[in-house]
Structure 1
Amino acid sequence: MTTKPLRIRKAAVLGAGVMGAQIAAHLTNAGVETVLFDLPAKDGPKNGIAVKAIQHLAKLKPAPLGEKSLAKSILPADYDEHLAQLKDCDLVIEAIAERMDWKLDLYKKVATHLPEHAVIASNTSGLSINTLAEALPENLRHRFCGVHFFNPPRYMHLVELIPNKATDANVLDGLEGFLTTALGKGVVIARDTPNFIGNRIGVFSMLSTMVHTQAFGLGFDAVDALTGPAIGRPKSATYRTADVVGLDTMAHVIQTMADTLPDDPWHKYFKAPEWLAALIEQGALGQKNGAGFYRKNGKTIEVLDLSKQDYVPSEQKASDEVAAILAIKDPAEKFGKLRESSDPQAQFLWACFRDLFHYTAYHLADIAETARDVDFAIRWGYGWKLGPFETWQAAGWQQVAQWIDEDIQAGKAMSDAPLPAWVTDGRRGVHHAAGSFAPAKGEDLPRSKHSVYERQLFPDPILDEKAPEGETVWENDGVRLWTLGDDRIGILSFKTKMNTVNDHVLDGIQQAVRVAEEKLDAMVIWQTSEPFSAGADLKGALGLLQEGKLAEFEAMVANFQATSMAIKYAQIPVVAAVRGLCLGGGCEFQMHSARTVAALESYIGLVEAGVGLLPAGGGLKEIATRCSASPVGDAFDNVKRYFETVAMAKVAGSALEAKAFGLLRESDVVVFNSFELLYVAKQQARALAESGYRPPLPARHVTVAGDTGTATFKAMLVNMLEGYFISKHDYEIASRIADTLCGGEIERGSEVDEVWLLALERKHFVALAQMEKTQARIAHTMKTGKPLRN
């Protein structure tokens, strides 16, 4: 289905609170000119509230902006002086507090300033979209809908789109395309019911967990040990999540459910537990004021113990029996053992799953079109690995349904509402090859035919969906070169853990380039799952050093450089498709590619200094070459911006920041939706191939800063050493980085070639690798995953 694109040149966000400001930030990340509105300030400039909100963005973690300087592009505004700014906006998102009366008043105030072509949306998390639409003039209602971002909006994949009864289907389709590609979101269409899909199911899950916490007498930290990664959910689990969200916010959402869902069979549970209300009354609201279910006492994390009415050190974990059950790989066996166990923790977990499954099945027809919408909403909005229906189906649909029904009949479930008839009609689940179950139609519906999804060659799979395997062109133990379709564009994927680089990968890349030159038009380096690459295999490198195999170690370093050069000088374009971590050697490979296409959430860095080394896969050589080719500044001025980044092992917090660091080129492409990454990379590879691609000529005239540049860097480092900002070994590493970037002990302004620079990299890398302190850093990082400052 081809959909008319929605062109968004300028947007406005109404409301400069935490969500509104961050939505404005993400629109700005995506290159959309954005105006951020709030009430006029009582003192100072009238747009002062919006100004402060924009300034505050730089302090938030995780960072809402892909690159800090983007804050200057957001226009601060107020409702007294700047409503005329709305007249040329293509998209207006309202994001003020969850008060129906306030929202309706605001709509009346801005309605006459809204252009007829604009799409108007509310970021409400659960208020009626149809009621809000009634506050708009009739000629605007067809362009109005709910667009519910999850917090934080840059990082949470889910956006719920909620049409009102008059919303134009073309408007909805256009907005879905914009949200998916331009903002990188996973869109789920929700029905106009309280709390929509994500919060309706997600908040019920948290509420039922609280009910069962009390019923089984468990501690809050024990529950978090059970309801986090142990069952495929985020580390923050239940009570840490509540602390992050804010206990007052949690209570407000629960109250909203009580007020708006009077006929829900679970309604009697829609109230804050007594202990939650007591915490709020005492002002313990969670992370925002330092205490909630947890608090930090010095370096100790303490948890509230209800029996002692005080905080105690957090130490409760899953019992041995439940830990063993949760370690079982087979979901059916796992659920069976949870249900039959007499351990209170096992009974608690079964009860939580039972009531979640019961509630979700009972309400599916009211809140969503298909079971897929519910599972994606919970996965993308709450960070679960599997949605509730996927979890149920994986555990054995009919057996679990029978257990739920038995518990309902025995009065053990939270509600005596019967399971819908379709649950027990003999089905094996709700997700099948033909699609996912839609109760209103009584059949399975395939994924959306919206044209935007043609860009997702490997969409986020639902349970049991099989990804295309492609056709293998060549492979070894380290890599696989394969094609998808008959477009003659190879895809190179690594086979190692975290896609690290070992000898098999190095040899494999070089051979894959040769095969691609012979049989294909272009090649894309793309991993079937994140990360792009965590860098070199440190274990193998350290092993060679400890065994005294220095010649083999030096040969490995030379082979690393040869691999980067094979990528750079391939006779076909090699495009790097980067998402997630892209560190060390992985960063160097993308630096040598003809072009990089990077997902926004790419964390790119030359991090070798953190393990006592320097980049030696051609990374420093490539930086020196780029600096020499720059039309502005001299060799030292240009290399200076890179030195601190490399010496401090800085990792860019986004692909946009990687451009600011110079680790991505201006010509490299940033993609906001990681599921579109391979499609865009293949398009770039095809365009390069069709334009008669030739690799660059060898860099034989690289102008460097020489010994004068190195001396200047060393003077800076001495000051840092004497001020105890760096250790002696940090000084040693950074001095060698400086020497390599500046071309060694030659005069400033001298010309060298790539071979010279690569030799410098190798010399310093091998020298550092033999040092005791470097080997200690490598060993510590391998053991703990954290750097050692020695």
Structure 2
Amino acid sequence: MARTIRTAAVIGSGIMGSGIAAHLANAGIKCLLLDIIPGKLTEKEQAAGLTLNDSRVRNRLAAAAMEKMKTTQPSPLYLDSFIERITPGNLEDHLDRLKDVDWIIEVVVENLQVKQQLLQKIESVWTPGTIVSTNTSGISVNAMAEQCGAEFKKHFLGTHFFNPPRYMQLLEIIPGRTTDPEIVSYMSDFCRKRLGKGVVLAKDTPNFIGNRIGIYGLLVTLQEMREKGCSVEEVDAVTGPAMGRPKSATFRTLDLVGIDTFVHVARNVHDHVDQAGEKAVFQVPETILEMVSRGWIGDKSGQGFYKKVKGADGNSILSLDLNTMEYSPQTKVSSASLEAAKLTKGAAEKTKALIYGGDRYSELAWSILKKVLVYSADKLGEIADSIADIDNAMKWGFNWELGPFETWDAIGLVKSVQRMEAEGLAVPQWVKDWIAAGNTSFYKRELGRTVHYLKGRYHGAEENPEVISLRDLKDRGRVVKSNSGGNLIDLGDEVVCLEFQSPNNAIGADILSMIRQSMDEVDKNYKGLVIANEGRNFSVGANLVFLLMEAQDEEWDEIEAMIHQFQQTLLKLKHFTKPVVVAPHRMTLGGGVEVCLAADQVHVSAETYMGLVEVGVGVIPGGGGCKEMALRMSRKIADPQIDLQPFMNQIFETIGMAKVSSSGHDAFRLGYLRETDKVAINRDHLIHEAKQAVLRMDNEGYVPPVNEKFRVVGEDGKAVMQLGAYSLRQSKFISDYDLHVANKLAHVLAGGDVPAGTLVTEQYMLDLEKEAFLSLCGEPKTQQRMQHMLTKGKPLRN
């Protein structure tokens, strides 16, 4: 049967329930958020004369969760207005509404009996065919539904989101024994496409995949820490980026998650596994239980493995000594192996440098890692059938850069197994059989794609036409042109993609050259151009290192030439004869935004943070950003009888305050995107969607935008903007130098010293931009700001 999920109900409005409801709203799904009815009035409710029968009391828990969404940072919503898609209610008054929704998700307390009772209540009003799922983090899906009817069980499964649901990519789907395979397939597809999730199929075993491997790794780390006499700081130095893991490493992660939560999840495995050795590993150490008994459960209690304290010299962070249970100042941790890992690029090389470094930290890393790798291999077939699902669960759910089997390949499968066996570690037989068959890795590249071990042979997943991999296309010889800044790659169907490949995708002369070469190639041989890449961020802006060096050497002609080249390249891109679609993701700053502003259309990832942030380094947008923002607003407010000033004030504030969107949707509010631009919730589909947009424009008979004059607010408008900046200075919100930069920005956005309503050209505005940019580059305080950003990674307020 054809199935569509347009409406949903989330039962349970705690952190996870409200977060899931928020993300469903992000995806355009109308959602009921239900919870139990409170048993007593609050003091505020009593003072207002309310009773337990009042709907405001009965819906209080869900309504309060929605209020909390509005202030939670980072926000669970792409846009604040999306909260209107959520309706609060309670399980008694609104239970019958469940029969009208397309998907019911229970997210109540992790207690089997409570969940069983709730499912029976849901089944009493359930419309046959409606999908019902549980967000349990580890309770058996089959046990939960064992008292339900056969038809209900066919439509019931686990959908385990990771917290926070908007930001964590992992979604574990856990079928029950009798779940209809078509439901599993549909939900996997729906959650990938509509919710943007990375889906893995898990088996109905304690803690499924991510938490089973992740909690094991944390417990092994605690065990090795105790045996080797290491401190909290030492363990975190080893188990963070040096090992391809997040900066939060082990103990900062536990503080963030909550040590009580960690204990609960660990106990769930301990209580439900039979093998004595595994049960022993999942026995939580007494020191951790002591921390919980004292209420030292991490960030939510103010202290855990780390504790922030205020002193005469400001805040400092202390670390816990697990032997004395006392806090003390942190000590700096360094060694040859840690330094080698820091100097090496990529998680694979870092991990190798660390574990083969030959010092005590190498030994700590190896002793932890070898056990996690063997455990992951031992659980293959029990918790999941695919090593790719296990690897992806750890990357998407725990932010590891490499999954266990990818890590094994990185450190050398054959070499590491020999070392493990020499040290008496029992390696699973299937791994030894795989090596004996002549294989030296679990993954390999084959015909331009990655294949991996699956049941004794290499297996490649079916290609999804909606997922375009630039890496695969490059391996297949589809590079048309290339230089140090980028590659022009044939996407098929007479569309090419320009991929940036400079460090941090910073825009410099090499990328600008590649943009011009790409236009020349497309003009002759292709229908249109996509600009996208697969880097961590789309682009952090212009090449600040080059700019600072030239400014310090007073090479003004070089800087002017660079700005001119940047402006003219993007101006040509904007008026190019073929359609251009840019597909940005994550950090898209400064020059990266200006590339987007020059495109016919932007297809942006939902998790994109766009901003013209140049004032943070003491300059203004110089590649056409000011011009394009002013032009767009002028054309939007086309009626000359409507005062343009209030709208230009908004742009002045957006650029002057270096505002960055909190999502792709939020970029519309800030004016970086237009109504014709699009948002993709699944980043993996972004390049495909951009390509389709190019083909649509070509098919419709593409006509490039004309070069028109547009009106500006002129010198009167400049005075208004400068007065606003002066007021901020008087209120001490900005510094004197901030005011100086703001005055330059106002001059450019206003169109200079011309009468209000004057019509100007794009080139005129670009010349104003260039003049202001150049003059600011010569200022010592701008150079100080650039230097500070390069060394500290954050703005200087001088």
When normalised by structure 2's length, the TM-score is 0.92
Per-residue deviation, residues 98-152 of structure 1 (Å, max 9, x unmatched): 1111111111222233322321111111111111222433322211110111111
Q: What's the offset of the Cα at 1:332?
A: 9.8
Aligned twin of 2:698:
689
Aligned twin of 2:460:
446
Contact 2:473 2:489 in 1 (8 A): no
Pairing partner for 2:316 from 280, 297, 300: 300
Helix, strand or coil: the match of 1:524? strand
Q: What's the offset of the Cα at 1:306?
A: 2.8
Aligned twin of 1:23:
20
Q: What's the offset of the Cα at 1:93?
A: 1.3
- Compared CA separation, residues 565 and 339, structure 1 to 2 (3 A): closer
Pairing partner for 1:643 from 652, 671, 686: 652
Give unpaired runs (5+ residues) of structure 1: none
Pairing partner for 1:315 from 309, 331, 339: 331
Contact 2:417 2:427 in 1 (8 A): no
Aligned twin of 2:759:
751
- Compared CA separation, residues 264 and 65, structure 1 to 2 (3 A): farther
Aligned twin of 1:733:
741
Aligned twin of 1:596:
602
Contact 1:470 1:483 in 2 (8 A): no
Matches within 5 A, 1:96-135: 96-135=108-147
Aligned twin of 2:587:
581
Contact 2:107 2:135 in 1 (8 A): yes
Pairing partner for 2:5 from 5, 8, 12: 8
Per-residue deviation, residues 217-272 of structure 1 (Å, max 9, x unmatched): 10011100000000100011111111111111111111111111133532122221
User: How many angstroms apart in 1 are the aligned matches of 2:487 and 2:376?
Assistant: 41
Amino acid at match of 1:689: D
Pairing partner for 1:205 from 214, 217, 221: 217
Aligned twin of 1:39:
36
Contact 1:219 1:316 in 2 (8 A): no
User: How many angstroms apart in 2 are the aligned matches of 1:518 and 1:324?
Assistant: 48
User: How many angstroms apart in 1 are the aligned matches of 2:211 and 2:400?
Assistant: 13
Amino acid at match of 2:621: P
- After superposing the two structures, state which structure 1 stretch, 630-639 or 145-154, moved more: 630-639
User: How many angstroms apart in 1 are the aligned matches of 2:72 and 2:430?
Assistant: 48
Contact 1:361 1:423 in 2 (8 A): no
Pairing partner for 2:413 from 387, 392, 397: 397
Matches within 5 A, 1:208-227: 208-227=220-239
Aligned twin of 2:725:
717
Aligned twin of 1:572:
578
Per-residue deviation, residues 593-629 of structure 1 (Å, max 9, x unmatched): 0000111111111011111111121111111111112
- Compared CA separation, residues 88 and 448, structure 1 to 2 (3 A): farther
User: How many angstroms apart in 2 are the aligned matches of 1:550 and 1:682?
Assistant: 40
Q: Tell me the percent identity.
A: 35
Per-residue deviation, residues 724-775 of structure 1 (Å, max 9, x unmatched): 1111111111122222222222232332222222222122222222222112
- Compared CA separation, residues 605 and 335, structure 1 to 2 (3 A): closer
Q: What's the offset of the Cα at 1:161?
A: 0.6
Contact 2:243 2:354 in 1 (8 A): no
User: How many angstroms apart in 1 are the aligned matches of 2:701 and 2:477?
Assistant: 26
- After superposing the two structures, state which structure 1 stretch, 221-230 or 662-671, moved more: 662-671
Contact 1:325 1:338 in 2 (8 A): no
User: How many angstroms apart in 2 are the aligned matches of 1:325 and 1:53?
Assistant: 43
Amino acid at match of 2:632: R
Helix, strand or coil: the match of 1:76? strand
- After superposing the two structures, state which structure 1 stretch, 104-113 or 146-155, moved more: 104-113
User: How many angstroms apart in 1 are the aligned matches of 2:488 and 2:688?
Assistant: 17
Contact 1:584 1:608 in 2 (8 A): yes
Aligned twin of 1:532:
538
Aligned twin of 1:520:
526
Q: What's the offset of the Cα at 1:363?
A: 1.6
User: How many angstroms apart in 2 are the aligned matches of 1:558 and 1:189?
Assistant: 52
- Compared CA separation, residues 337 and 128, structure 1 to 2 (3 A): closer
Per-residue deviation, residues 61-97 of structure 1 (Å, max 9, x unmatched): 3321112232233211111222233222111111112
The answer to whether residue 255 in structure 2 is matched with residue 243 in structure 1 is yes
Contact 1:194 1:260 in 2 (8 A): yes
Helix, strand or coil: the match of 2:521? helix
Amino acid at match of 1:171: I
Helix, strand or coil: the match of 2:139? coil
Contact 1:607 1:646 in 2 (8 A): yes
User: How many angstroms apart in 1 are the aligned matches of 2:206 and 2:142?
Assistant: 11
Matches within 5 A, 1:230-269: 230-263=242-275, 265-269=277-281
Matches within 5 A, 1:298-447: 298=310, 299-321=315-337, 323-324=339-340, 338=355, 341=358, 343-408=359-424, 419-425=428-434, 426=436, 427-432=439-444, 435-439=451-455, 442-447=456-461
User: How many angstroms apart in 1 are the aligned matches of 2:160 and 2:419?
Assistant: 35
Amino acid at match of 2:601: R
User: How many angstroms apart in 1 are the aligned matches of 2:692 and 2:717?
Assistant: 41
The answer to whether residue 489 in structure 2 is matched with residue 482 in structure 1 is yes
- Compared CA separation, residues 6 and 566, structure 1 to 2 (3 A): farther
Contact 2:59 2:88 in 1 (8 A): yes
- After superposing the two structures, state which structure 1 stretch, 620-629 or 224-233, moved more: 620-629
The answer to whether residue 664 in structure 2 is matched with residue 655 in structure 1 is yes
- Compared CA separation, residues 510 and 321, structure 1 to 2 (3 A): closer
Aligned twin of 2:172:
160
Q: What's the offset of the Cα at 1:316?
A: 4.1
Pairing partner for 1:670 from 661, 679, 690: 679
Amino acid at match of 2:66: I
User: How many angstroms apart in 1 are the aligned matches of 2:427 and 2:508?
Assistant: 57
Helix, strand or coil: the match of 2:703? coil
Matches within 5 A, 1:69-84: 69-84=81-96
User: How many angstroms apart in 2 are the aligned matches of 1:291 and 1:352?
Assistant: 26
User: How many angstroms apart in 2 are the aligned matches of 1:40 and 1:765?
Assistant: 60
Amino acid at match of 1:39: I
Amino acid at match of 1:385: E
- Compared CA separation, residues 319 and 763, structure 1 to 2 (3 A): closer
Q: What's the offset of the Cα at 1:678?
A: 0.9
Amino acid at match of 2:673: L
User: How many angstroms apart in 1 are the aligned matches of 2:167 and 2:133?
Assistant: 20
Matches within 5 A, 1:189-204: 189-204=201-216
User: How many angstroms apart in 1 are the aligned matches of 2:350 and 2:563?
Assistant: 48
User: How many angstroms apart in 2 are the aligned matches of 1:344 and 1:511?
Assistant: 52
User: How many angstroms apart in 2 are the aligned matches of 1:785 and 1:380?
Assistant: 26
- RMSD of aligned C-alpha atoms? 2.3
User: How many angstroms apart in 2 are the aligned matches of 1:396 and 1:73?
Assistant: 50
- Compared CA separation, residues 378 and 697, structure 1 to 2 (3 A): same
- After superposing the two structures, state which structure 1 stretch, 139-148 or 230-239, moved more: 139-148
- Compared CA separation, residues 316 and 97, structure 1 to 2 (3 A): farther
Amino acid at match of 1:454: P
User: How many angstroms apart in 2 are the aligned matches of 1:156 and 1:519?
Assistant: 41
Per-residue deviation, residues 360-406 of structure 1 (Å, max 9, x unmatched): 12221211112111111111111111111121223222332233233
Helix, strand or coil: the match of 1:156? coil
User: How many angstroms apart in 2 are the aligned matches of 1:547 and 1:194?
Assistant: 63
Q: What's the offset of the Cα at 1:534?
A: 1.2
Q: What's the offset of the Cα at 1:529?
A: 1.8
